[in-house]
Amino acid sequence: MADETQRPAADSAADAPGTADEIRRRVREFLTACDPATVPRGDFLRARFDAGLAWVHYPPGLGGIGAPRALQSVADAEFAAAGAPTNHPELIGIGLGMAAPTILAFGSHDQRTRWLRSLWTGEEVWCQLFSEPGAGSDLAGLATRAVREGDDWVVTGQKVWTSQAHRARWAILVARSDPVQPKHRGLTYFACDMTAPGVEVRPLRQLTGEAEFNEVFLSDVRIPDSDRIGAIGDGWRVAMATLMNERVSIGGRALPREGGMIASAARTWRERPDLRTPGLHDRLLRLWADAEVARLASERLRQQLAAGHPGPEGSAAKLVFARLNQEISGFEVELCGADGLLYDDWTMHRAESANFFGRGPGFRYLRARGNSIEGGTSEVLRNIIAERVLGLPAEIRMDKDVPWKDLPR
Amino acid sequence: MEGPAAVNISDRPAAQPEAQAAGDGAIAGSGPAGGALAAGTAPAGAERLPSLLYSEVESDLRASVRALLEDRCGWQAVLARTESGEPYDAALWRALAAGLGCAGLLVPAEHGGAGVSYREACVSAEELGRYVAPVPYLGSAVVATAALLAVGDTELLTKLATGDVTAALAVPFAAMPGAPVRPMARLARPQPGDAESGVARLSGTVAGLADALPADVLLVPAEGVPFGLYAVDAGAAGVTRVPLVSLDMTRQLCDLSLHEVPARRVASGEAAVRAVSAGLTAGAVVLASEQLGLAERCIEMTVGYVGERRQFGRPVGSFQALKHRLADLWVSVTQARAAARYAAACLATGDPDTLVAAVLAKSCCGEAATAVAQECVQMHGGIGFTWEHPAHLYLKRAKSGSIAFGTPDRHRATLASLVTLPGPPASS
C-alpha cells in the first residue's frame, strides 16, 4: 500500500524545477564554476546568492529559484558536503528569520534588491527594534514616535531587548506614526540605519551577568520615507508577519536524541554515580522522556512544514521548549549539590548569542529563565493557543477602540 | 440533556491527510545542528526519523471509522450498555469488522486481512478512543493478533481477520511489556484420548483480563516443560469467566479460571515468550494511540462547553484561568501525538528503537489522556460530575488505560536500562 509520505523511488521528473535532483545538479554546477577552496568567502557567498542557491524558495534574482522551501536542506547539505563557507546563520538569525521574510513580503522591488543580498551574506547584520520598556507583551502599545518631515520621518523613543544591535547595520523598526488612531492602527514599519545620527546602543546586562541584548535610544533619528516597509499605518500587520516568522524559526532546528539541554544533565548523571538519589532518578527519567518526546514533536512540526501543511503546533513547541529548559537546568544545578552553589563567571561579557553550552549549569539555569519571556511570554502564547487554535472567546479588552493618546499609561 | 458540543480542534479535517505531497518524509532543518552536545555515552537515537504524519490511507481509514462510530456509537448507548448484561457491542464490532476490515488490519492479505501496518491500526484506535467504543479491538485485533503473528499461527489469524471469531491473550490487563511473563496457568493431568487427539489440559487462574468476556478463543500462557502458549475454546467445559466490577465498564475486565480445559499448543519455549511479548508491546503502543484519540475528543468537548456556558455575564471560556489550562492540555496532546506516531511507525517496521518508542508513547499518552479527562470533568463543572454526562466515561477509560500494559512510572523506569540512565548505586 503506497504511503504518500514517501518519495517515489524512481523520480520520473527528476530534472523538473523544484525537485531535489534539480537542486543537487545546480549546486554541483555552481561548485564547479566557483570552487570554495580558491574563491574568497565573501565572493563565494555573493555568487551563491546570485545563482539562486542562497534560499531556494525565494524568487529568482533575490537569492532563490522559487523552489519548494523544503528543498533548502538539500542545497545546504550539498554545500556542506563540499566544505563551502556558510553565512554563519547562527549570528544573523534576526536578519534571516525575521527581517528577510518581511522585506520579501512587504518591501518594494528596490528595497528587496537593496537589502536582501547583503543580509543573506552577513555583510550587513540586522536587528529588531520592537519591544520597549513600556511595551512588552502589549507590543501594540509602543510609544516610539515617528513624525513626518518632508521626505523623512523623525523617530524618537527607546527600544529594548535588541540582540545584535551593537553589530547591526540595519534594524527593522515599528514606531507610532499616528497617536490619534487606536493603538493597532497608528503604527508604521521602517528599516532603520543603525549608523544614522541619533542612534545610541547601550549594552543591557542580564541576570546571568553578561549582556546579550541592548537598549537602543533613538533621538531625532531621520529615516527617509523610502525606507518605510509597507503602508503608513499598516505597521501592525507587517510586524505580525515578522513575529509569525520568529515563532516558526524558534525550535526549528533538528537535534539528535539527547541533543539540547538534557545532554549535560544526562552526562553528569552518568559520570557521577555519587550524586544520584532515587528522587532525582525519577525526575531525570521523566525529563529525559519529556525531552525526547518534545524532540519528536519538533520533528513532526518540521515534517508538516515540509509537506506544505504547517500546523498550529509551533506555539506548543516554544512552550514546551521553555518549560523543559527550565526544569532540566534546575535539575542539573540540584544534581550538582555543593558544586551547584558556585557560578562560573559574573563578568559582563558581550555574548554574541544565547549559548547554553560551554558554560556551567548555573548559567544554564539562569539563562533558561528567559526562555519563557523572550519571543512571546508563555502566558501570551497560551492566550494565542486558546484563542486562535482552540477558538475560545477573547479577553474582554478596554484598549482596542480608544485613541492611543488617550490610553492610561 | 444536550450532547456535548463538537469542536474540531485538530489541525485538519478528519479525511484530510497531512502528507499528501510526495515530499521527503524526514527533512532536517536547514543549517547546522548547532548547540547539540555530543554526549559520549548517549544512546543511539534514530538519526533519521520516520514520518510522523498521517498518510492519505490513514486519513481515509480514520474518516471511515469515524463515520461509522458517529452513526453507531453514541455515548448514551455506550453508557446504557455499561449497566446492561452485555457490556460489549457485538453489532458494532461486526460492522467495524465486516464493513471496514478493522478486525484484520494487521493480518496479511493472504490470510484474509487488510495487510496494513500498525500505523493504520493506531489511527483506527484513535477513533475508537474518541468514542469509548465497547468493542474488543485492542484485545483481539491487536494483542491476540500480534501474538499469533509472532508465531505464524495462520489458522486462527484467518478467523480473527474476519472478526467472526475474537481472541484474548490471557494475561492481566496491567501486565507490562518487557517484564518477565509469569504464567498463571499450568499443564494439567491428561485425560483418556488426549494423546491421540493432540490435546493438552490446562488449569489455573488469571486475574483482570481485558476483552476476554466476548472472546471465543483464549490464548493462555502456561507453565510446563517447556513454557507454552495455548489456544483454549472459551466455551469449553471447565472455562469460567467472572465479570469484574471494573473502573472502566466500557472495557469490562474478568477473572478467568481453567479447570482441566482442553487446549491446543500454539507455541512453546522462546517462541511462546516472543508471542506474549509481541502482544503486550503491540497492546501498549496501540492503546497509547487510543488514549491520544480520547484526549483529543475530551479537549473538543470541553472547548465546546466552555465557549457556550455563561457565568458572570460571559462565556466561562473567556476566563484566562480556564484558557491557559486548556492551552496547556492542547500542548500536551501535541506531544502525545508525536510520541504515539513515532511508536506506531517503529512498530510498523520492527525498528530497533521500538521499546523506547513504546515507553515514550505509553507514558506520555497515558498521562496526557488522564490529565485531559480530569480537566474535562472539572471544566464542565456540576454537569461534568453527573452520571448523565459522557465525561466520566472518558475519565474512567483514560485512567484505566494509563494503568493497562504498565503505568507511566513503570514504563519510564525501564528507560534506566534502555538508555543507560542507571539509578543510585545499591550501596548508597
Taking the CA of residue A404 and the nearest CA in chain B, the distance in Å comes to 25
Q: Which helix (H) or strand (E) segment is A171 a member of?
A: strand A170-176
The answer to whether the Cβ–Cβ distance between A255 and B33 falls below 8 Å is yes
Q: Which helix (H) or strand (E) segment is B419 a member of?
A: none
- Give the other-Cβ count within 10 Å of B359's Cβ: 29
The answer to whether the Cβ–Cβ distance between A302 and B29 falls below 8 Å is yes
Q: Per the structure block, which three cell numbers stand in for A167?
A: 553589530
Mean pLDDT of the residues in chain A = 91
User: Catalytic site residue A246?
Assistant: yes
Fold of B274-418: Butyryl-CoA Dehydrogenase, subunit A; domain 3 (1.20.140)
The Cα B395–Cα B383 span in angstroms is: 14
- Per domain, the residue ranges of chain A are 20-86, 126-234, 250-389
The answer to whether the Cβ–Cβ distance between A73 and B327 falls below 8 Å is no
Q: Per the structure block, which three cell numbers stand in for B61?
A: 481509514
Which residues lie closer than 8 Å to B237 by C-beta, 6 or more apart? Answer: B261
- Give chain A positions within 8 Å (CB) of B57: 1-4
- Helix, strand, coil shares, percent, chain A, to 5: 45, 15, 40
The answer to whether the Cβ–Cβ distance between A396 and B318 falls below 8 Å is yes
Locate cell 580558491: which residue?
A: A38
Q: What is the pLDDT of residue A90?
A: 85
**Quick one: B388 exposed, middle or buried, by C-beta within 10 A (0-12, 13-18, 19+)?**
exposed
DSSP A329-361: HHHHHHHTGGGGG--S--S----SS---TTS-H
Integer angstrom CA distances of residue B251 from A203, B172, B287, B358: 63, 13, 12, 22
Q: What is the DSSP letter of A385?
A: I
Residue A384 CA, chain-centre distance (Å), reads 18
Taking the CA of residue A157 and the nearest CA in chain B, the distance in Å comes to 32
- Among B27, B42, B327, the residue with its CB nearest the CB of A382 is B327
The Cα B2–Cα A405 span in angstroms is: 48
The Cα B232–Cα B264 span in angstroms is: 7
Taking the CA of residue A145 and the nearest CA in chain B, the distance in Å comes to 32
The Cα A75–Cα A81 span in angstroms is: 10
Listed in order, the ranges of chain B carrying CATH 1.10.540.10 are 56-165
- Give chain B positions within 8 Å (CB) of A288: 415, 419, 421
For residue B163, the SS3 value is coil
Q: What is the DSSP letter of B29?
A: P
Q: Which helix (H) or strand (E) segment is B262 a member of?
A: strand B254-268
Q: Per the structure block, which three cell numbers stand in for B15?
A: 479525511
List, for residues A191-209, the tens digit of each pLDDT value: 999 999 999 999 999 999 9
Integer angstrom CA distances of residue B306 from A229, A379, B299, B381, B393: 41, 19, 11, 10, 19
pLDDT band at A247 (very low <50, low <70, confident <90, very high): low
Is residue A96 a contact partner of residue A126, using CB atoms and an 8 Å limit? no
Q: Per the structure block, which three cell numbers stand in for A158?
A: 527607546
Which residues lie closer than 8 Å to B67 by C-beta, 6 or more apart? Answer: none
For residue A284, give the chain B residue with the closest CA: B421
Q: Per the structure block, which three cell numbers stand in for A272?
A: 557521577
The Cα A189–Cα A105 span in angstroms is: 13
Is residue B305 a contact partner of residue B319, using CB atoms and an 8 Å limit? no
DSSP A138-169: -GGG---EEEEETTEEEEEEEEE--TTTTT-S
Is residue A381 a contact partner of residue A315, using CB atoms and an 8 Å limit? yes
- The hierarchical CATH code for the domain A126-234 is 2.40.110.10
**Candidate list A246, A327, A332, A374, residue with the active-site label:** A246
The answer to whether the Cβ–Cβ distance between A252 and B29 falls below 8 Å is yes
Locate cell 555574548: which residue?
A: A351
- Give the other-Cβ count within 10 Å of A102's Cβ: 23
- Average pLDDT of A104-111? 97
Is residue B172 a contact partner of residue B213, using CB atoms and an 8 Å limit? no
List, for residues A344-362, the tens digit of each pLDDT value: 999 999 887 667 778 999 9
- Among B22, B30, B318, the residue with its CB nearest the CB of A73 is B30
Give the 3-state secondary structure of A49-97.
Answer: HHCCCCCCCCCCCCCCCCCCHHHHHHHHHHHHHCCCCCCCHHHCHHHHH
**Pairing label, strands A213-224, A152-160:** antiparallel
Which residues lie closer than 8 Å to A277 by C-beta, 6 or more apart? Answer: B424
Cis omega before residue B50 (within 30°)?
A: no
**For chain B, what is the radius of gyration of the CA atoms?**
22
Going A113 to A117 to A123 to A124, the CA torsion angle's sign is: positive
Q: What is the pLDDT of residue A376?
A: 87
The Cα A357–Cα A46 span in angstroms is: 32
Q: How many CB pairs under 8 A join A and B?
A: 271
Taking the CA of residue A244 and the nearest CA in chain B, the distance in Å comes to 17
Going B91 to B94 to B98 to B100, the CA torsion angle's sign is: positive
Which residues lie closer than 8 Å to B379 by C-beta, 6 or more apart? Answer: B302, B305, B306, B316, B322, B325, B326
Cα angle A93, A96, A99 (rounded to 5 degrees) comes to 105
**Can you point out the beta strands (E) in A228-334?**
none
The Cα B39–Cα B419 span in angstroms is: 12
Nearest Cα neighbor of B255 from B357, B181, B184, B157 is: B184
List, for residues A267-280, the tens digit of each pLDDT value: 999 999 999 999 99
Is residue A211 a contact partner of residue A351, using CB atoms and an 8 Å limit? yes
Backbone dihedral region for residue B51 (phi beyond 0: left; psi -120 to 50: alpha; all else: beta): beta
Q: What is the pLDDT of residue A311?
A: 75
Locate cell 469484574: which residue?
A: B244
What predicted TM-score, i.e. pTM, was given to this entire model? 0.88
Which residues lie closer than 8 Å to A182 by C-beta, 6 or more apart? Answer: A399, A400, A401, A402, A403, A404
Note the residue count of chain A.
409
Locate cell 534502555: which residue?
A: B418
The answer to whether the Cβ–Cβ distance between B53 and A307 falls below 8 Å is yes
Q: Which helix (H) or strand (E) segment is B327 a member of?
A: helix B320-349
Taking the CA of residue B238 and the nearest CA in chain A, the distance in Å comes to 44
DSSP A4-55: TTSPPSS-TTTTSTT-HHHHHHHHHHHHHHS-TTTS-HHHHHHHHHHTT-SS
A78, A277, A284, A299: best to mutate for the B interface, most B CBs within 10 A? A299
The Cα A229–Cα A191 span in angstroms is: 7
Residue B41 CA, chain-centre distance (Å), reads 33
Which residues lie closer than 8 Å to A40 by C-beta, 6 or more apart? Answer: none
Phi, psi of B297, deg, nearest 5: -65, -40
Is the CATH number of domain A250-389 1.10.530.10?
A: no
The Cα B214–Cα B137 span in angstroms is: 11
Class of domain B185-273: mainly beta
The Cα B78–Cα B390 span in angstroms is: 9
For residue B328, give the chain A residue with the closest CA: A382
The answer to whether the Cβ–Cβ distance between A393 and B28 falls below 8 Å is no
Q: What is the DSSP letter of A274?
A: G
Listed in order, the ranges of chain B carrying CATH 1.20.140.10 are 274-418
The answer to whether the Cβ–Cβ distance between B331 and A309 falls below 8 Å is no
pLDDT band at A302 (very low <50, low <70, confident <90, very high): confident
For residue A388, the SS3 value is helix
- The hierarchical CATH code for the domain B56-165 is 1.10.540.10
Is residue B382 a contact partner of residue B156, using CB atoms and an 8 Å limit? no
- Give chain B positions within 8 Å (CB) of A266: 39, 42, 421
List, for residues A356-390, the tens digit of each pLDDT value: 778 999 999 999 999 999 988 999 999 999 999 99
pLDDT at residue A109 above 70? yes
Residue B245 CA, chain-centre distance (Å), reads 20
- Give the other-Cβ count within 10 Å of B38's Cβ: 10
pLDDT in tens, chain B (428 residues): 333 343 444 444 445 567 643 333 333 333 333 333 333 344 455 468 999 999 999 999 999 999 999 999 999 999 999 999 999 999 999 999 999 999 999 999 999 999 999 999 999 999 999 999 999 999 999 999 999 999 999 999 999 999 999 999 999 999 999 887 777 899 898 899 888 888 999 999 999 999 999 999 999 999 887 889 999 999 999 999 999 999 999 999 999 999 999 999 999 999 999 999 999 999 999 999 999 999 999 999 999 999 999 999 999 999 999 999 999 999 999 999 999 999 999 999 999 999 999 999 999 999 999 999 999 999 999 999 999 999 999 999 999 999 999 999 999 999 999 999 999 998 64
